[in-house]
Amino acid sequence: MSSKQTKKPETRSRLTREERYRQLIEIAWQIVGEEGTEALTLGRLSERAGVTKPVVYDHFITRSGLLAALYREFDIRQTKVMDAALQASTPTLAGRAEVIAASYVDCVLLQGREIPGIIAALAGSPELEKIKREYETAFIEKCRALLAPFANAGSIASAGLWAMLGAAEALSYAATMGDISPQQAKDELFETIKAMLARSA
């Protein structure tokens, strides 16, 4: 008998649906980061992932569905970061404002330049704009609940909260592009939040 052992062919394990979804999401972020949001199509994603188009379509159906999934991933990550920071913070106005400012900026920076492109793409259609607005509203209501105890009569005007969100997006984008430092973005957003509460006091 030959001393050589027959080598069994390697078998590639089949990814579960959840594993495939995670893989596609990660590759989609890579495409946006390397080639820009405009390059992100279901066809391009299937090429980069090395799978057939039906596999990608089965997960996202449309390009809008893919963009919405990416934004959802960002929102989930942002919520987790904020919740973890809140548990470790002091229940004061300064403590709450610092958590909101730092967690928002950090999440955008963690994702890099991809997020501004995704946000811009979400505003490109009524369907995607609706999804973006739903997540924005949820974020604003979360901030309202966190900050209301420090406001006069326990309430904050919605206009102030929307202005805060606009400042958060603009400052985070500026930090991502290198126009200002991450710390400058956090500090300015922190002061914006405090000023909003001062007006409601």
Q: Give the confidence band of 12 by pLDDT, cuts at 50, 70, 90.
A: low
Burial class (CB in 10 A: 0-12, 13-18, 19+), 30: middle
User: What sign does the dihedral 63-67-73-75 (CA atoms) show?
Assistant: negative
Tracing tokens 């793409």 back to the chain, one arrives at: 121
The predicted-structure confidence for 49-90, as pLDDT tens digits, reads as follows 999 999 999 999 999 889 889 988 888 888 888 899 999 998
Reported pTM: 0.75
Q: How far apart are CA 28 and CA 73, in angstroms?
A: 12
Contact 33, 114 (CB under 8 A): yes
The predicted-structure confidence for 43-56, as pLDDT tens digits, reads as follows 999 999 999 999 99
Q: How far apart are CA 201 and CA 195, in angstroms?
A: 10
- Give the model's pLDDT for residue 78: 83
Over residues 97-111, mean pLDDT? 90
Contact 120, 129 (CB under 8 A): no
Q: How far apart are CA 28 and CA 46, in angstroms?
A: 10
Q: How far apart are CA 71 and CA 73, in angstroms?
A: 5
CATH number for the domain whose boundaries are 15-61: 1.10.10.60
The predicted-structure confidence for 146-168, as pLDDT tens digits, reads as follows 999 999 877 899 999 999 999 99
The predicted-structure confidence for 114-149, as pLDDT tens digits, reads as follows 777 787 777 777 777 888 888 899 999 999 999 999
Per-residue pLDDT at 192 exceeds 60: yes
The predicted-structure confidence for 168-180, as pLDDT tens digits, reads as follows 999 998 998 899 9
